A and B are shown apart, each in its own frame.
Chain A
């Protein structure tokens, strides 16, 4: 009876090219829109997870290993698995529905989310979100 598909919820994508990737809900459209008459949400997720960093690595190698590739997508609720985790990253100003209209806007949105996710990863918080889901 509690709505749980809210912004900042961590979810796992189940279908599509990004199946198995973790993402965070940026904006939820519970009743759908004219183009998408079903419940869906705008998610920002990780396309390529950061690799494991060990103590032996030089700083150049650490920087290279901590890179994250991000994506932005509109997903049907049915193709998500919600989790109990949340990720408090402010992505509302960066990611919007208009940024999915054209290719270059999508790229800039993805680049900006990549930057924010990388700094969150480097801070060491939300470790679960940045580990690959093994299946």
Chain B
């Protein structure tokens, strides 16, 4: 049983916030750079697509637990997450380094 049905409204708001981060903030896309950003404690929020392989997902969650960084499980697969980032390629995981004008970091960790 899914914890809470992700309504269309919250899903859109994540997309909006993500678009604002892409425009005004700093981020890294991709598994290798996500781990790098967690290791040198630059990452502030990690977003993982829902079709991420479970071992990789657990690994990123473990690193985020050690670094005390929030993880957001995006409601969509890597194709959707890439589109939400405004890219024409698939993005399985991304790390937000500097949110810019967005309030994604303040509002997101309350959800998961």
Residue in chain A with minimal CB distance to B64: A1
Assess whether B40 is interfacial by the CB under 8 Å rule: yes
Contact residues in A for B68 (Cβ distance below 8 Å): 1-2
Q: Interface size on B (CB < 8 Å)? A: 14
Q: Mark B12-53, 1 if CB is under 8 A from A, else 0.
A: 000000000000000000000001100111011000000000
Residues of chain A within 8 A (CB-CB) of B65 are 84
For A1, give its contact among B35, B36, B43, B59 (CB under 8 Å): B43
In the complex, are the beta carbons of A4 and B40 less than 8 A apart? Answer: no
B40/A30 in contact, CB under 8 A? yes
Tell me the complex Cα distance, A78–B67, Å.
Answer: 16
A1-B41, A1-B67, A3-B67 given; 19 more Cβ-contact pairs under 8 Å: A1-B44, A1-B68, A1-B69, A2-B41, A2-B66, A2-B67, A2-B68, A3-B41, A4-B41, A4-B67, A5-B39, A39-B39, A39-B40, A77-B39, A78-B35, A78-B36, A81-B59, A84-B65, A84-B66
